[in-house]
Amino acid sequence: MQESSRDNFQVDLGGVVDLLSRHIYSGPRVYVRELLQNAVDACTARSEQGEEGYEPSIRIRPVTKDRATFSLVDNGTGLTAQEARELLATVGRTSKRDEFGLQREGRLGQFGIGLLSCFMVADEITMVSHAEGASAIRWTGHADGTFNLEILGDDATDVIPVGTTVHLTPRPDERTLLTENSVVTIASNYGRYLPVSIVVQSEKNTTITTSPVFAKDTDQQHRLYAGRERLGKTPFDVIDLTGPGIEGVAYVLPEAQAPHMSRRHSIYVNRMLVSDGPSTVLPNWAFFVECEINSTDLEPTASREALMDDTAFAATREHIGECIKSWLINLAMTKPHRVREFTAIHDLALRELCLSDADLAETMLGLLTLETSRGRISIGEITTLSITEDVSLQLATTLDDFRQLNTIARPDTLIINGGYIHDSDLARLIPVHYPPLTVSTADLRESMDLMELPPLQDVEKAKALDAQVTDSLKDFQIKGATRVFEPADVPAVVIIDSKAQASRDRNETQSATTDRWADILATVDNTLSRQTANIPQDQGLSALCLNWNNSLVRKLASTDDTAVVSRTVRLLYVQALLSSKRPLRVKERALLNDSLADLVSLSLSSDI
Ligand SMILES: Nc1ncnc2c1ncn2[C@@H]1O[C@H](COP(=O)(O)OP(=O)(O)OP(=O)(O)O)[C@@H](O)[C@H]1O
């Protein structure tokens, strides 16, 4: 026969108390927060009873050289003996949840463990409490999981005001945390915006509570001042974040901010500080603000040091994002000069924002600037140019392509540099927000094909010159391609395709590195050369385009002295490389030196 029985789990109370008090919280300083929380909740409960003239208040008396005990006094509801037995002595039992297990509105606590945090600083917690109409009690809890409850007589009850006083006698190692300075600092940190007056009473009285910067009646001047206190500089502006279940401000940073640097955001729940550091409650792109918010919807975890990542969290995040975007749109509409200042400071953030939000892009895109073949101009100016001058917009997707295309751009084309972060994506938004404009991807080969050829009567001369260029520069795999382009004083431009560029880089590294690494690079280069061997030579895009408009080039085409042509071509190649801002490789530096030396000796021998 099978036997079965149902038993309760056995709980080692001392172990549970130790676990909860020492391991759920980040450190012992949170004992102040947990006591404040209980005191505020008790005052809130008493306020709800509608007693006339009731003024909630919390007073803290830190330890001093003459006072060995820390006390926190509230004039809240107090506890009856029955409640003390049930609520204080039962771990996990709380009065702050309703019959459905939901946290009561406006309460800070909900888990029934907060009081245990006091065991991090003291071995004993004593609570003297008096609830209206009941006898006062003295409850003492011990870290080993035991407690004493004493019901006080009428004489004592008569002189103890309604409310609760918690007494803690600190362990010597934690005493500092219960002295005046620490208590003021910790209480201000967590409780400065709490809705009940808190005063620390010691040699002097220090009022902890202050009106929150995000309170409805705080004017903008005061908010800017609070921002200066916090950031150390006056914020560019302060954005109001008030909405359903949330009150708050976002300080717009007055200086550029690296996107990867996380800012400190202070997040309060029911006016008690929960998180004071980087937070994902702000969208990633909002790295140009620092926030102070208070929510009635966000839910702290049991440690009260983090927030649950739930639907309220997502809604808060969305709300904050929307407020910041509306502020920007409003600024763009009403204060164009301010938005230009903002753009100058937080350019990168704005670029990211426009890419992630179509509404914002509709208003802000025109303000962003892009580098173009006509200099750095705003997208608004680019679109105006395109419409008024019938200029076609072409996007160079790499910096190198832009540099090359820039030199050969036709007057009816505007080349946009998409080589910097976000710029290609932003240029591609132009047709979306400014139809019917189009932006095509610029193609080096096509652009070269579109360049004008020399006039018919000069074609043969130009072809011969091209052959000489190809021969003079065969070591560099550059072919000659004489064309007609502006400006006439530029004799040559060099066009190098990305594969050729990669090979240039490998060759350079090969010549400057150790034998073993050079061997590896040589193998890579040979393999790649074999792979591209089937591509017809004339399809390679690396070319030196000589400018038939340039008198030196035309003179060169009429010279029979092949040595002079070869030297000049090599020099023109190096000059073109330098003016396209490409660094010279070892081989190219040698070529420059040799060509100059040749020219010097040529001119010396002609002098003799
Ligand atoms: N100062 C006080 N005045 C009246 N009742 C109190 C006071 N402090 C504690 N209590 C009672 O003791 C209960 C347990 O308190 P405890 O701090 O352990 O948990 P909690 O505040 O309910 O929840 P949490 O763990 O989230 O803080 C409370 O629910 C409350 O009913």
Residue 560 lies inside a defined structural domain of this protein: yes
The answer to whether 99 is annotated as binding is no
- Condensed to tens digits (0 to 9), the pLDDT of residues 225-278 reads 999 999 999 999 999 999 999 999 999 999 988 766 788 999 999 999 999 988
User: Are the C-beta atoms of 24 and 303 separated by less than 8 Å?
Assistant: yes
Q: What CATH number is attached to the domain comprising 200?
A: 3.30.565.10
Claim to verify: residue 461 and residue 562 sit in the same structural domain: yes
pLDDT of residue 451: 82
pLDDT of residue 421: 86
Residue 384 lies inside a defined structural domain of this protein: yes
Q: Which residue has the higher pLDDT, 520 or 167?
A: 167
Range from 10-24, 456-470, 549-563, 585-599 carrying the lowest mean pLDDT: 10-24
Verify whether ligand 1 is closer than 6 Å to residue 115 (CB atom).
Answer: yes
Q: What CATH number is attached to the domain comprising 466?
A: 1.20.120.790
Q: Which two tokens stand for residue 531?
A: 């792979």
Looking at 415, 448, 481, the residue that finishes a domain is 448
Claim to verify: residue 193 and residue 224 sit in the same structural domain: no
123 CA distance to ligand 1 middle (Å): 18
User: Are the C-beta atoms of 273 and 32 separated by less than 8 Å?
Assistant: no
Claim to verify: residue 514 and residue 437 sit in the same structural domain: no
- Condensed to tens digits (0 to 9), the pLDDT of residues 123-137 reads 999 999 999 999 999
Burial category of 558 from C-beta neighbours within 10 Å (exposed 0-12, middle 13-18, buried 19 and up): exposed
Claim to verify: residue 412 and residue 281 sit in the same structural domain: no
Give the total number of structural domains in the chain.
4
pLDDT of residue 406: 82
Among 16, 31, 38, residue to substitute to test ligand 1 (most atoms within 8 Å of Cβ): 38
- Condensed to tens digits (0 to 9), the pLDDT of residues 390-435 reads 999 999 998 888 888 887 777 889 999 999 889 999 999 999 999 9
User: Mean pLDDT, to the nearest integer, of 492-506?
Assistant: 68
Claim to verify: residue 185 and residue 317 sit in the same structural domain: no
Verify whether ligand 1 is closer than 6 Å to residue 275 (CB atom).
Answer: no
Strand order in the sheet with 439-441: 375-378, 369-372, 413-417, 392-396, 439-441
pLDDT of residue 287: 85
For tokens 């909900």, name the residue: 110
pLDDT of residue 156: 93
pLDDT of residue 579: 79
Residue 141's DSSP bridge partners are 125, 147
ipTM of the complex: 0.97
Range from 353-362, 460-469, 552-561, 597-606 carrying the lowest mean pLDDT: 597-606
Banded model confidence at residue 608, pLDDT cuts 50, 70, 90? very low
Residue 295 lies inside a defined structural domain of this protein: yes
215 CA distance to ligand 1 middle (Å): 28
pLDDT(33) > 90:
yes
Looking at 207, 234, 262, the residue that finishes a domain is 207
pLDDT of residue 359: 80
Residue with CA at minimum distance from ligand 1 atom 1:
39
User: Mean pLDDT, to the nearest integer, of 502-524?
Assistant: 58
Boundaries of domain holding 91: 13-207
Residue 566 lies inside a defined structural domain of this protein: yes
Looking at 207, 237, 270, the residue that finishes a domain is 207
Claim to verify: residue 543 and residue 411 sit in the same structural domain: no
> In whole angstroms, how far apart are CA 330 and each of 34, 323, 354?
42, 10, 15
Q: Which residue has the higher pLDDT, 91 or 154?
A: 154
